[in-house]
Amino acid sequence: PHGQQHWHEGHPECGGRAQSPIDIGTAWAQPDLSLPPLQPEGYEHPESPRLTLANNGHTAVLALPPSLRLRGLPHTFTAVQLHFHWGRPGHAAGAEHLLDGHRAPAEMHVVHFDAERFTDASAAQQHPGGLAVLGILLEVWTPHPRPPPTHASQPLTDPHSLPQVGDDPHPTYDNILRHLDSIRYAGQTVAIPSFSIRDLLPVHLNRYYRYNGSLTTPPCFQSVLWTLFPQPVRISRAQVGPALGGGPALGEHNPSAPPFPFQLEQLQGSLYSTEEAEPEEPQLLVDNFRAPQELNQRLVLSSFPRGEQRGGKGPLHPSMAPGAPAGHKVLALTPAFPLQSQKDIPQVGPGWEAGLGGRPSTPLTPSRHHT
C-alpha cells in the first residue's frame, strides 16, 4: 500500500509524536520575546557563480553552497538546499504548514544543518536539533483596487486610482521559476546563475513561530528545529509562467479563467514526477505536501506578542477560540532552546538506510523525498 497513512509501516518514525507539518493556532502560540532575529550570512552573494536546480521527482530543489550560514539559533547552521511544496490545478492550497486552519497556495523550505556538531546534513538529520528549516509561505500577488475617485476632475488614469498592492511581489523568484521548463522530468538538472537567496525570504526575520518537528517525508526523522514566518511572500502574475504544453498561462488571455490563485497551480503543473525515458504516460508532480500532524503537547513559541503575527491584525480567523484545539495542548513556557528535551524524542535506530537504497531519502540528496 502507498500513501501517507502507510509511511509508518516502512518508516516507524513517521508515526512518532513530534511530526511535521502542523496547524499553528495563532491564539495559543506562546510568545517568547527573547527569541533573537535570524541572521543569514552570505545569502546576498553566494560564493558559487552558478547554482544547480533539480527535479528529484518530488519537488524542485535548489542546491545551496556552504558559504550560506544561519545564526540566531542555538548553533551556527549551514545551508544545504531549498525546495517547494504545492497543490494541483483547480485547488488553491498546497502549503504544508497551516495558520489557524488556513493553507497557503505553496510553501518554500530552506534546509540547514548544525555545522558545529556535524560534518554534513546526512549525519545531522539523524539527531534531534541537527537540522534547522525555514518555512516561507507563498501567496499569489493580487492587486487591490483603491476606491473610485471622489472628484470628477480626477482622471481615471491617475496612478492612485489604479490597482495597488500592499506588499510588492518578489521578482527574485523569477530566478528559479523561469528555469522550470529545463527540469520538467524527474532526474533533470540545470545550472542557473547565482542570485541573492536573502531576497527570497520575508523582510522581517524577527517575527516567526518556532517548534520542534520532523522531516515531512520518510524517513520522517524528528530532528528539525522549525522556523515558520507568518508573513507570506507574494509572487507576481508574471511568475506563474506558461501553461503545460506552451499555451497561455491560466488566467491570461482567457476571460473565463479562474482568478489569480489558480495560476500558481498551473505553474506547478509544468513538472513531472516521472522520468523522460519512462514509457508510461508522464505523471504531473502535484500535491507534494503532507497532511498536518498532531501537536502532541509540543510547545510552539512566537517571537512576537500574541495577535501581531501579520501587522497586529490578530488571528487569521477571528472564529479561532483562544484555547488550543483538540490535540494541541499548550504547555507552560519553557526555555527557547531546546523546546523539547532530546530524551523525549525517539532516536533513530541502526539500519535506517536499508529501505532507502542505502542513502537518506530527503532533499539533502537528489532523491524523490524531501523535508
- Look at residue 88 and tell me whether its pLDDT is greater than 60: yes
Q: How far apart are CA 71 and CA 227, in angstroms?
A: 13
Higher pLDDT, 191 or 341: 191
Find out whether 210 and 132 touch, Cβ atoms under 8 Å.
no
Higher pLDDT, 348 or 151: 151
Residues with catalytic function: 58
The whole-number pLDDT of residue 263 equals: 40
Q: How far apart are CA 7 and CA 293, in angstroms?
A: 13
- Look at residue 220 and tell me whether its pLDDT is greater than 90: yes
- Look at residue 332 and tell me whether its pLDDT is greater than 50: no
Query: Can you say whether residue 3 is alpha, beta or left, with left for phi > 0 and alpha for psi between -120 and 50 degrees?
Result: left
The whole-number pLDDT of residue 279 equals: 83
- Look at residue 174 and tell me whether its pLDDT is greater than 70: yes
The whole-number pLDDT of residue 241 equals: 38
Q: Which of 57, 88, 134 is nearest to 370 (CA)?
A: 57
Find out whether 116 and 76 touch, Cβ atoms under 8 Å.
yes
The terminus-to-terminus CA distance of the chain in angstroms comes to 22
The residues, ordered by sequence, that sit 6+ positions from 349 with a Cβ below 8 Å of its Cβ are none
* Opening angle at CA 308, ends 302 and 312, nearest 5: 170
- Look at residue 101 and tell me whether its pLDDT is greater than 90: yes
Q: How far apart are CA 332 and CA 329, in angstroms?
A: 10
Percentage of residues in the chain having pLDDT higher than 90: 57
pLDDT band at 309 (very low <50, low <70, confident <90, very high): low
The whole-number pLDDT of residue 358 equals: 29
Q: Which of 353, 324, 296, 57 is nearest to 184 (CA)?
A: 57
The matching CATH number, chosen from 2.120.10.30, 3.40.309.10, 3.10.200.10, 3.40.50.720, for 4-356 is 3.10.200.10
Task: For the chain, give the mean pLDDT.
Answer: 76
- What's the rounded mean pLDDT across residues 283-292? 94
The whole-number pLDDT of residue 258 equals: 37
